[in-house]
Homo-oligomer: A and B are copies of this chain.
Amino acid sequence: MGMVGGSTDAFIGAVHRRVAALDGYIELVCGAFSSNPQKSKATGKSLFLPPDRVYGSYEEMIEREKELPEGERMDFVSIVTPNHLHFAPARLALENGFHVILDKPMTLSLAEAKTLKKIADRSGLVFALTHTYTGYPMVKEARRLVAKGTLGVVRKIYVEYTQGWLAQPLERTGQKQASWRSDPKFSGLGGAIADIGTHAANLAEYIGGNPITELCADLQAVVQGRVLDDDATMFLRFEGGATGLLVATQVAAGEENNLFIRVYGEKGGLEWRQEEPNTLILKWPDKPRQILRTGLPYVGNEAAGATRVPSGHPEGYLEAFANIYVAFARAVADHQRGKKIVPQHYGFPDVNDGVRGMAFIEAAVKSSAQKQKWIRITV
């Protein structure tokens, strides 16, 4: 693995490195950790990388790694930069034969996303998008139960991602995350809707099994002076007839990462909460509620395969994230053995999820600006 971005002062780089290391399948062999070459060097050194594998730019990294013999050169690129620096390195990596794992949202705009999809499709390489939350075992179990009809036909999906970290104008203090997240140059069209709304939409589609077809959105910048939305609410319509609701807010003071989803079908409902991820609750009209827990014999293969420790030993965010990496790495290994890769067989979000996410952002922003209620999402 070679990394683009993720110098030691960035939060998300260390997360990616940890989750890549967790299972012993993936080794960090090189990186272009910062556009500042000194910073990149320092980061590489702190990670015990040989100096000649620490590069000053992603262009250099891709060019130089390409020249190394197979088996020695990096197998794939992990891109952990802000949104505005997703498209170019991803494109370059793909065009030079490197598989790519990329942070969400995929690009700055839907147009870029479509271009990237074309490039990825053409390349035949493995491309993963880190919608982390689909890596949780109980999310996989929820998806499985819905798919096999446990709840009956799905009618309602309520998904919400509430955070409080932008309840104050944190970006004015120079905090790094807050600064780029609230700046359209680095983030694109969407604020909260891009950062966490896409996670919520992806989760609703993943568990519910159907794409969102229409939405009616109300976006705001609650904190004065903010350009991008920090708060979003929307009605949803799904293929197959279900309707729902999506909340994505970063001004719910006191909330942490309260991603919460409820799905109701004709026969019963389920709920899952990211802050207590090892539990899945099923609710029934005519029999006791059920609490499903990771690591127990009754969960399906997908969840069982995404669990590392016995029941009652909680797993968390890093393990869920690592599940995305492991699934991606398995696909990369299979690709190297000449296999054609179907991402769904491995369970990682792919370039199509990325395009859908960008279409979702653009539809939400457009819907919020118009007086009419509903708008179609067109990919």
Task: Provide the residues of chain B in CB contact with A266, threshold 8 Å.
Answer: 167-168, 253
Task: Provide the residues of chain B in CB contact with A23, threshold 8 Å.
Answer: 18
Give the size range of A's interface with the partner: 35 or more
Task: Provide the residues of chain B in CB contact with A292, threshold 8 Å.
Answer: 288-289
Task: Report the separation of the CA atoms of residues A88 and B149 in the bound assembly, to the nearest whole angstrom.
Answer: 48
From residue A309, how far is it (CB to closest CB) to chain B in Å?
5
Task: Report the separation of the CA atoms of residues A275 and B253 in the bound assembly, to the nearest whole angstrom.
Answer: 24
Determine if A285 and B15 form an interchain contact, defined as CB atoms under 8 angstroms apart: no
Report the stretch among A100-108, A156-164, A185-193, A330-338 that lies at the interface.
Answer: A156-164
Determine if B254 and A264 form an interchain contact, defined as CB atoms under 8 angstroms apart: yes
Task: Report the separation of the CA atoms of residues A74 and B109 in the bound assembly, to the nearest whole angstrom.
Answer: 50
Task: Provide the residues of chain B in CB contact with A151, threshold 8 Å.
Answer: 253
Number of copies: 4
Task: Provide the residues of chain B in CB contact with A285, threshold 8 Å.
Answer: 164-165, 167-168, 253-254
Task: Provide the residues of chain B in CB contact with A287, threshold 8 Å.
Answer: 298
Residues 341-377 (chain A) with a chain B CB within 8 angstroms: 371-373
Determine if A269 and B164 form an interchain contact, defined as CB atoms under 8 angstroms apart: yes
Q: Does A239 contact B (CB under 8 A)?
A: no
Determine if B314 and A317 form an interchain contact, defined as CB atoms under 8 angstroms apart: yes
Known: A24-B21, A156-B231. A289 touches B254 (CB 8 A): yes
Determine if A288 and B290 form an interchain contact, defined as CB atoms under 8 angstroms apart: yes
Smallest CB gap from A291: residue in B: B289
Task: Provide the residues of chain B in CB contact with A319, threshold 8 Å.
Answer: 316, 318
Task: Provide the residues of chain B in CB contact with A296, threshold 8 Å.
Answer: 256, 286, 288
- Among B264, B297, B314, contact of A314 (Cβ-Cβ < 8 Å): B314
Task: Report the separation of the CA atoms of residues A154 and B318 in the bound assembly, to the nearest whole angstrom.
Answer: 34
Given contacts A24-B47, A155-B222, 5 further A-B contacts (CB under 8 A): A14-B308, A15-B309, A216-B373, A275-B278, A316-B316
| A residues neighboring B (CB under 8 Å) | 11, 14-15, 17-18, 21-24, 28, 47-48, 151-152, 155-156, 158, 163-165, 167-168, 216, 218, 220, 222, 231, 233, 235, 243, 245, 247, 249, 251-258, 262, 264-269, 274-278, 282-293, 295-298, 308-319, 371-373
Give 9 pairs: A residue, B residue, CB < 8 Å, sorted on A.
A155-B251, A156-B249, A156-B252, A164-B283, A253-B283, A254-B264, A254-B269, A286-B296, A286-B297
